[in-house]
A and B are shown apart, each in its own frame.
Chain A
Amino acid sequence: MRARVTRRELLKRAGAVAGGAVAAGLAPARVRAQAATRIVFWHSMGGNLGETVVRAFVNRFNASRSDIRVEAQYQGSYDDAINKLRASIQSSAVPAIAQVYDIGTRFMIDSKGVVPVQEFIDRDKFDLGVLEPNILAYYRVGGRLYSMPFNTSTAILYYNKDMFKKAGLNPEQPPRTFEEIEEYATRLTQSGVTRSGIALAIYGWFFEQLLARQGALYANHGNGRDAPATAVVFHEEEAGVRILEWWARMVKAGVATNPGRATAASQRAFAAGQTAMTADSTAVLASLLRGAGGKFAVGTGYFPKPPAAANGGSIVGGASVWILKGRPPAEQQAAWEFAKFITAPAQQAAWYVGTGYFPIRKDAYREPVARETLAKSPQFLTAISELRSSPINRATQGALLGVFPEARQKVEEAIEATVLGRKTPKQALDDAARDINQAIAVYNRTMGVS
């Protein structure tokens, strides 16, 4: 327990030491005038693939420039990375550029420790017209782009085409609505093809997506985009309750399985042929295709959406890169050069086919590697088509919330309580909303946000 007590202190100290080390490492570079500007890049792309691809980007960039040296440092999960930033952001012990997940956007802006990339965009006359409009809509706050989107995704439905065939379902027609998913899952389990029609990990992001697919808001003040949010509203309308009712009903009927909170478990179940359908980010497409390894055909479909919800659509997920104020201007400029490089068509296309994250820009699809992959595996088009078919409005832009990580966790508790039959959907969402609103109040008060 003492370790807990001292952890924050240790973290601070470790941050200071690391910062000192970085500064010490940099000093000679600066003395050697005009030598390359060294910058540190924090990222959360773990796993074999993520690290390999990121390292390849860095090596290629370093080889292409004599004036900048980038050092990539893996910082653990998105949560871990933003924690480390939080501990250091108001000092100079920060990296020049850092990858932060979508839901960290509001906090990063409020931290006042960043340089909006808009400043570099304006100076460079960088053409934002090549970017996907829905992605810009998510990351633009108050008309300005604060960070450069890097890896973008949406949630999609994965299904086992072989099982669909065996159950007499059309393998080329994935279910499109809540009702259809339920029907298909029932048919798949009752026909004895599988014991799990769909494996749905308890992941708050799915709830956010399903809410937006119905055109409903997560937080007040236009999802926190007209003014900082002061409360969540997902529990006030029918849309939120509908999601949980549907989810719990399927689990109760035994047609859906609950693999817990980790999507890793539902991915394993799907790849092992233990479930006919699963929901997940398009970012795991390449790994699921490899996991299925020709044992069965993997189908992909849009996330469910009620037929009547004309203004519903998907929210962009993933992460963007932020340039930090704590480093000297030369490093900030170098960071921007690196940001431009990793979001250039060649890199975005390589990233796309290696993972499943779709490119942030439309011209990346013209790259040969993207074309080849699309010809072979059309599943790579599902998520981006889903996004492009989404209207841009406050619901699909997604919420901005300083306490979003905590909010997501509270919603996961609500889903869990409903799925396990401990609370009614309404009760669970009300309880979550109460806790989140309290957290928002503390955040706004201590951060001086109003």
Chain B
Amino acid sequence: MSGGRPVGPARDVPRARVRAQADLRALAQAGAYLLPSLVVFCVFVFYPLVRNLELSLYETTPFGGLGLFTGAGNYAQLLGSPAFLNSLRVTFLFALYTVPAGIALGLPLALLANRRIRGIVVYRTAYSFTIAVSIAAAALIWHWLLDPNVGILDYLLTLVHLPKVGWLTDPRWALPAVAATTVWKDLGFNVVVLLAALQGVPDELVEAARIDGAGQWGVFRSVVVPAISPALFFVGVVSTIGVVQSFGQIHILTQGGPLDSTNVIVYSIYRNAFFNFRFGLAAAQAMILFVLVLVLTGLQFAVFERWVTYQ
């Protein structure tokens, strides 16, 4: 997270030539270290990205071959399609329902898990175990919980004489229900990252604040939160990117329905590419999503990073 900063200001300035040589050597060394990951990235990310861009400019055959060149045709079709605009809306809402909730629930759990009490390992495991659950398993568990006939949630509602809710079949509830599944699943990851950050908060800082007369809340707000702000920011960015790419839980719980209320862009890309076999259209959607995530991440850096304190 401190990549942009100058590292170790040089005290004794060597002569320009020696310095240039040293720089070159350092660059070559860095290049050698980076090479493996560069190769992997080029083969699996950048090359496909370029090919995807090409694909998005064609009407493709059902076998994925390039058919008719249509230029921006796919993009025009998408931007004029209410279904795609709905997907955009749903994707934003989905991120809105999941990311803040994931942090809001993850932080208190991480704080609890950071206490020094007997058997804390048990609690830590309990709070973070969803990290070990695959999204498919999580979705299946929630499918049972949310089932209107045999699920526990609706059973509890009937106990208090409330009408049953079709969690996954009512377009008003489906997105919140899928979001709840996602928050639950991602909670483990959030707790682990935030707990690690909390354990890195220097005791001296907390003690110093206490001596200065700060209460629990004051310590938390003025010392702990700034100290873990890089982790909070990291969780925010990573979960946004992750959530926007959600697929498994939607495929298992709602298949994008009812009435497209959970049809996030990624799911709609899947439907278009691997179900409707319109690879060109799906490629164009993927490009739009790519730009979207880029902009979203950029915005997060521009807006939230100023509150982040790097040590």
Contacts and interface: CB of A to CB of B under 8 A. Distances in A.
A236 interface: no
Contact of B62 (A196, A259, A274, A447): A447
A371 to B, nearest CB: 36
A271 to B, nearest CB: 9
A370 to B, nearest CB: 33
Nearest to B291: A1
Contact of B51 (A2, A9, A416): A9
A268 B145 CA distance: 13
A243 interface: no
Given A4-B269, A258-B166, A265 B147 contact: yes
A268 B147 contact: yes
Interface in A194-224: 196, 199, 202
Interface size class of A (residues with CB under 8 A): 35 or more
B73 to A, nearest CB: 11
A48 to B, nearest CB: 15
Interface in B249-306: 254-255, 257-260, 266, 269-271, 273-279, 283, 286, 289-290, 293
B61 interface: yes
A179 to B, nearest CB: 25
A416 B258 contact: yes
Interface stretch (A56-64, A93-101, A376-384, A402-410): A402-410
B63 A416 contact: no
B274 A5 contact: no
A272 B150 contact: yes
Interface in A298-334: none
A79 B45 contact: no
Interface size class of B (residues with CB under 8 A): 35 or more
Interface in A127-179: none
Contact of B290 (A1, A196, A417, A439): A1
A34 interface: no
A443 interface: yes
B200 interface: no
A87 interface: yes
Which interface residue of A4, A9, A199, A416 has the most chain B CB atoms within 10 A?
A4
A409 B64 contact: no
B62 A86 contact: yes
Interface string B138-152: 000000000111100
A265 B148 CA distance: 9
B275 A3 contact: no
Interface string A259-294: 111000100110010110000000000000000000
A442 B278 contact: yes
B173 to A, nearest CB: 12
Nearest to B289: A1
Interface in A87-134: 87, 89-90, 107, 111
B62 A402 contact: yes
B59 interface: yes
Interface in A385-430: 402-403, 405-406, 409, 412-413, 416-417, 420, 422
B99 to A, nearest CB: 16
Contacts of B258: 260-261, 416, 420
A268 B63 CA distance: 37
Contacts of A202: 257
A7 B59 CA distance: 18
20 contacts: A1-B241, A2-B49, A2-B290, A4-B269, A5-B290, A6-B52, A8-B64, A8-B279, A9-B48, A83-B275, A202-B257, A257-B148, A258-B169, A269-B149, A405-B276, A406-B275, A412-B257, A413-B260, A439-B278, A446-B60
